[in-house]
Amino acid sequence: MGEENAMNDEENRGLVDTASDLFQIREANVAMAIFAVFTVIVCAINMQGWLSVEYHKGLDAITQKSWVIEFDKTTTSTEFQDVWQDEESRIVEFRMDDSALVPQAGYAVGMINITISPDTVDGANIADPVGQCDAISASVLVNELTAQWESERNVLSASDSSCEDIVLSIVVYPSYEGETLVVPGVNAYQVLQPWSSLGWGEGVLEVQVDLDVNTAEPGPLATDDDEEITITVEVFGFIAEASMQP
């Protein structure tokens, strides 16, 4: 046991003596100093590069940029057609979850247009020899449909007696106009947040149509007492895309 300890002591003293001799050699000291300086320089360069990258990341994160918001649009539609009798008032319902009206997956509902078209055209016919146009009034009923009912851009009611189409419209998504926008923002995710909400355009669209037939009197052929009316509902869907303005 004593011999083994003595051998270990001799080995340790040998390592210490070797290291001491090494540090006493001038060339070795110079080489180690150069290596130490080189190591410090390399570490400093790497640290500067890392700090520069992180600085620019942080600067980008807090610096406002200009972003172009464009809307990729799609349209779905459905029709309802029937004959209204003179002085008839009817409410027609359109369910917004109807497969004919639901936009493509990922698209939000921006607006809804409703077109009410009479069958009567200018000019005489057998039922109405003098070509009189019937008076039609239409309105969208305010209900639980999730839309911007208070928007100034809505057209919720109108009437016509000149055989022209009546066009009504509802803004569904907040502030949606469908035109390209330029907005400030930190990144694309931030500027797209206002256009990423779900739940708009859900519910039932109710359209009330009233008919007042104008018949030429007297006249043996003036027997017009109804009107075929077509209601077309168009749903304008969109998905927003952002790109940094050059």
Distances (CA, A) of 100 to 82, 125, 175: 19, 35, 25
Q: pLDDT class for 245, splitting at 50, 70, 90?
A: confident
How confident is the model over 168-196, as a mean pLDDT?
Answer: 95
The confidence score (pLDDT) of residue 124 equals 45
| Interval 127-153: pLDDT, tens | 455 557 889 999 999 999 999 999 999
State how far the Cα of 37 lies from the Cα of 40, in Å rounded to an integer.
5
pLDDT over 50 (residue 168) = yes
Residue 64: per-residue pLDDT: 80
CA 211 from chain centre, in angstroms, equals 38
Choice between 41 and 130, residue whose per-residue pLDDT is larger:
41
**How many Cα atoms within 13 Å fall on the side-chain side of residue 245?**
15
Strands 135-140 and 226-244: unpaired
Nearest to 137 by CA among 25, 229, 236, 5: 229
d(CA 236, CA 72): 10
Q: Where are the domains of the chain?
A: 2-62, 66-244
Cα–Cα nearest to 140, from 128, 130, 126, 151: 151
Sheet of 204-212: strand order equals 89-95, 204-212, 135-140, 157-160
Assigned CATH topology for domain 66-244: Jelly Rolls (2.60.120)
When pLDDT is averaged across residues 166-194 and rounded to a whole number, the result is: 95
Q: How far is CA 190 from CA 84, 126, 186, in A?
A: 50, 63, 7
C-alpha to C-alpha distance for 222 and 238, rounded to whole angstroms: 48
- Of 53-67, 118-132, 183-197, 199-213, the poorest mean pLDDT is in 118-132
pLDDT single digits (tens) 217-236: 555 555 568 899 999 999 99
Instruction: Single out the residue of 109, 142, 138, 62 nearest to residue 234, CA to CA.
Output: 109
Q: How far apart are CA 108 and CA 95, in angstroms?
A: 16
